[in-house]
Structure 1
Amino acid sequence: MLCSQDSSQAARCLCASDILSCTAAGLERVPAEMPVSAVTLDLSHNQIEKLEGGAFEGLYRLETLRLAHNLLTAVQPGAFRNTSGTLLQHLDLSSNQLRVLEPHYFQDLPGLKELLLFNNRIVRVESRALAGLSSLRKAYLSHNLLTDFPFFSIQEHNYPHLSMLDLSSNRLPKLPLEDISKLPLSVQSGLYLHNNSLVCDCSMYTLLLHWEQRGFASVTEFRQEHTCLAYGIKRVRFFRNDRYSETCNLTAMIGLLKLQNSSVSVKAGEPVVLHCVTTLSGQHVTFLWVSPTQEYVAPPGNNDSLKMFTNGSLKIVAARAEDSGIYWCIAQDLQRQRNETREVNVTVVPHPGHELHESFNTGFTTLLGCVVSLVLVLMYLYLTPCRCPPCRKASAPATATSSKGNEAGAGSAQSSILTPTPPASTEGPGRKVSTNKHVVFLEPIKEQQNGRLRAGPVQRAGETDSIMSVFSDTPIISP
């Protein structure tokens, strides 16, 4: 077994735990015997020309297989049979000489997540070449010789996890836009098509423009590298040649233009293009836009903030908060006496940093307001001056006769407020006594000061408990 025998191959390989590395070992074929405990196998930078059936048999723990920079021209049926199967997640076949991806190449790898095939000589991908890769997340096929790709074979139920398909730097002359528009959005956002041999086409221009508006990384990260061949001789950049795009008749791509929702969001300071979708076509069709401020916009635009093309598209050069609102497009065919309208709701979203700053200011202002209100309430309760008359000395117990004579007296009425023991009878007309409470609560006394009852004579000056008990059930409510 490799790494356990004194052989020329073993001397050029390195075993470390569950890693077997035979890079630049001069191998012309996959070694016959390898440790079954290998999780990572690196056979890159060798002269291996083909993968034979059962080449990795017995490697039931294999998760990563690297075969980059070899001379591979074919993968025979069953090459990955009896390997780890669902465990193998990373397969690197880049920088080889593969020409056609056959359906049997990857049929025994249902757990594969990442497939690297860039820098080969691939001219064709069979429609079922990736059919068995139900766990596939990323596929790299850039820097090949592809002139076509079976987009129709990529459906969401077959590849639910696919989020990147790199077809850049190939020789694709034209894109099947109908098939591409049916791809799941997760695939469209990760579909890289820059540096191809595309012929300039209005429908393709519209699709890429739509992807840019939605912020797809496949366009925004390689914006300057999206080029096409105009008029058969001149290579131009998609997003820097407004003169060419003005000649596009976007009405021919109504089905594709439906991808643009009636509501469009754009970050502040960034450009956005609004399309006028209509069934009208011909040289007699004219377009007009109405902004949210009831301003009429016609080609070439009104000012530096709004630019309009002859094909009916309206470009907001640098979106501002005041640009938010409903935009109306009016298409008119004067010869046939027909007109159509379309509305687009534009929302300008502030940058995350600005939004965070605003929310911080709002929260700080609210907190400061609460603190000030609480301080004012406390000052009102404890620092408001109260000029109370001097307390009278406790008088001797009165007789029943004198009590009746003074039943309307104010002193006895107010002193009952602070008396811990309720009296046995009503002390005055209209004044109620509750025998179910520890403290007697009387009806409000008309004489007030600053909204508080003016304290009356205390019957027993030493009893502070009775004063606290009066306010113990009264909540303090701050505004």
Structure 2
Amino acid sequence: MRTFMFLSIVALCSAKSLLQNEFLHFLAEHDVMQQDPPQNTSDIIIQPQTPTPPPTLDDLSFTCPLKCVCQVRVVQCSDAGLKSVPQRIPKSTVMLDLQNNKITEIKETDFKNLPWLYIPANLPKSLVELRIDDNKIKKIQKEAFKGMTFLHVLEISGNPLDTTGIEPDAFDGVMRLIYIRISQAKLTSVPKNLPANLYELYLDHNKISSIELEDFRRYKDLYRLDLSYNQIKDIENGSLAYLPHLRQIHLENNKVRKVPAGIKDLKYLQAVYLHNNDISKIEVDDFCPKESSIKKILYSGISLFGNPVKHWEIQPASFRCVSGAYGVQFGNFRK
């Protein structure tokens, strides 16, 4: 979901009315009429100042949407009784006001051709879900989400965000954030400064090469963890011991060479995805603890297909804590 989705939330739901002096302040601050575009527009952060587009023919000849008032790069459509986002908004629009209308749905294409649309720094504090996928975010600054006490869900996938781009205090004061997805980014390791009360963490499709001992020390409440489609080879002994409530772990499509130590000690773990790795051997105690009473919930699924393991050499007792005969998935390994 692209930037315009949460921009639309801001425009439709903000409690403060956008007065004329606020527009003038914005125009003065950003010098919309005179600024030249920067040479590098890739370093967008979570609280960006949008670069101003160069003058185009669209600035001189455009059709203002019905019931809207248009100035150069500013389109005001507030209090217009609109039931949908206006069509043919000038491409060079920087500021779009859609407050106090009757719009009930934002379509995928509504803001598709508005590359210069301004992203406000002060998002409503009442936001519960925030999705800013597929942008150019490289950095999340200190206290970027300050005051967002109701924020539960954050998706920030498809951005060139590296682990070092998340500042240590970026999530200070965010107490209810339980779901974070940072997929298809440039993470090279597990971020250690995300909110401690996370329930679900998705870091798939990154460049993480190893799991270190301290990576999950902070995230003791996690029950779903997705590390699939990375480059993970090594998982340090003891690194999973900090996840006592884990129910599901995705490690498929990596380069893992053996069943991670500590898997068998996770009492509530139900689903383990290990397919398409480099596991060549399964030991009898890799998944199940020696004392059956330690395991509180039986496995409902373990996927091992796409590994160079010879399943006929595995002892049946290796899966003694799996709930049913179809709980383990094997397949032909093809190099």
Spell out, residue by residue over 1:69-89, the C-alpha distance to the aligned partner (whole angstroms, 9 max, x if none): 10100235x413xx3x33x21
Match of 1:227 in 2: 332
- CA 1:53/1:226 → structure 2, altered by over 3 Å: closer, same or farther? same
Spell out, residue by residue over 1:97-150, the C-alpha distance to the aligned partner (whole angstroms, 9 max, x if none): 100011222211121111111111101111122221122111111111111233
Match of 1:7 in 2: 49
Match of 1:43 in 2: 156
In the TM superposition, what is the alpha-carbon distance from 1:187 to its structure 2 partner?
A: 5.0
Match of 1:122 in 2: 232
Query: Does 2:332 correspond to 1:218?
Result: no
Q: Partner of 1:179: helix, strand, or coil?
A: coil
- CA 1:178/1:79 → structure 2, altered by over 3 Å: closer, same or farther? same
Match of 1:275 in 2: none
Aligned residues: 215
Match of 1:173 in 2: 280
Match of 1:436 in 2: none
The equivalences for 1:347-426 within 5 A come to: none
Match of 2:263 in 1: 154
Return the alpha-carbon distance in structure 2 between the equivalents of residues 47 and 114 of structure 1. Answer: 24
Q: Which amino acid aligns with 2:139?
A: R
- CA 1:189/1:64 → structure 2, altered by over 3 Å: closer, same or farther? closer
Is this contact kept in 1: 2:279–2:307, CA < 8 A? yes
Query: Does 2:179 correspond to 1:64?
Result: yes
Q: How large is the Cα RMSD of the aligned pairs?
A: 3.3
Q: Which amino acid aligns with 2:281?
A: K
The structure with the largest alpha-carbon Rg is 1
Is this contact kept in 2: 1:96–1:120, CA < 8 A? yes
Spell out, residue by residue over 1:291-319, the C-alpha distance to the aligned partner (whole angstroms, 9 max, x if none): xxxxxxxxxxxxxxxxxxxxxxxxxxxxx
Higher strand proportion, which one? 1
Match of 1:197 in 2: 308
- CA 1:91/1:168 → structure 2, altered by over 3 Å: closer, same or farther? same
- Percent identity, please: 23
Is this contact kept in 1: 2:287–2:318, CA < 8 A? no
Return the alpha-carbon distance in structure 1 between the equivalents of residues 306 and 120 of structure 2. Answer: 40
Q: Which runs of 5+ in 1 are unaligned?
A: 230-234, 236-479
The equivalences for 1:136-155 within 5 A come to: 136-151=246-261, 153-155=262-264
Match of 2:199 in 1: 89
The equivalences for 1:265-344 within 5 A come to: none
Which structure would you say has the larger RCO, counting Cα contacts within 8 Å and 6 or more residues apart? 2
In the TM superposition, what is the alpha-carbon distance from 1:30 to its structure 2 partner?
A: 2.2
- CA 1:210/1:98 → structure 2, altered by over 3 Å: closer, same or farther? same
Is this contact kept in 1: 2:259–2:286, CA < 8 A? no
Q: Which amino acid aligns with 1:198?
A: V
In the TM superposition, what is the alpha-carbon distance from 1:19 to its structure 2 partner?
A: 1.3
In the TM superposition, what is the alpha-carbon distance from 1:53 to its structure 2 partner?
A: 3.2
Is this contact kept in 1: 2:140–2:170, CA < 8 A? yes
Return the alpha-carbon distance in structure 1 between the equivalents of residues 268 and 182 of structure 2. Answer: 24
Is this contact kept in 1: 2:300–2:327, CA < 8 A? yes
Query: Does 2:184 correspond to 1:79?
Result: no
Return the alpha-carbon distance in structure 2 between the equivalents of residues 92 and 27 of structure 1. Answer: 17
In the TM superposition, what is the alpha-carbon distance from 1:185 to its structure 2 partner?
A: 8.0
Q: Partner of 2:285: helix, strand, or coil?
A: helix
Higher helix proportion, which one? 1
- CA 1:206/1:226 → structure 2, altered by over 3 Å: closer, same or farther? farther
User: TM-score, length-normalised on structure 1?
Assistant: 0.40
Q: Partner of 1:227: helix, strand, or coil?
A: coil
User: TM-score, length-normalised on structure 2?
Assistant: 0.55
Q: Which runs of 5+ in 2 are unaligned?
A: 1-6, 15-46, 51-116
Is this contact kept in 2: 1:20–1:42, CA < 8 A? yes
Is this contact kept in 2: 1:200–1:228, CA < 8 A? no
- CA 1:129/1:55 → structure 2, altered by over 3 Å: closer, same or farther? farther
Return the alpha-carbon distance in structure 1 between the equivalents of residues 200 and 183 of structure 2. Answer: 12
Return the alpha-carbon distance in structure 2 between the equivalents of residues 140 and 96 of structure 1. Answer: 13
Match of 1:19 in 2: 129
Match of 1:457 in 2: none
Q: Which amino acid aligns with 1:45?
A: G
Query: Does 2:160 correspond to 1:53?
Result: no
Return the alpha-carbon distance in structure 2 between the equivalents of residues 99 and 129 of structure 1. Answer: 14
- CA 1:120/1:12 → structure 2, altered by over 3 Å: closer, same or farther? farther
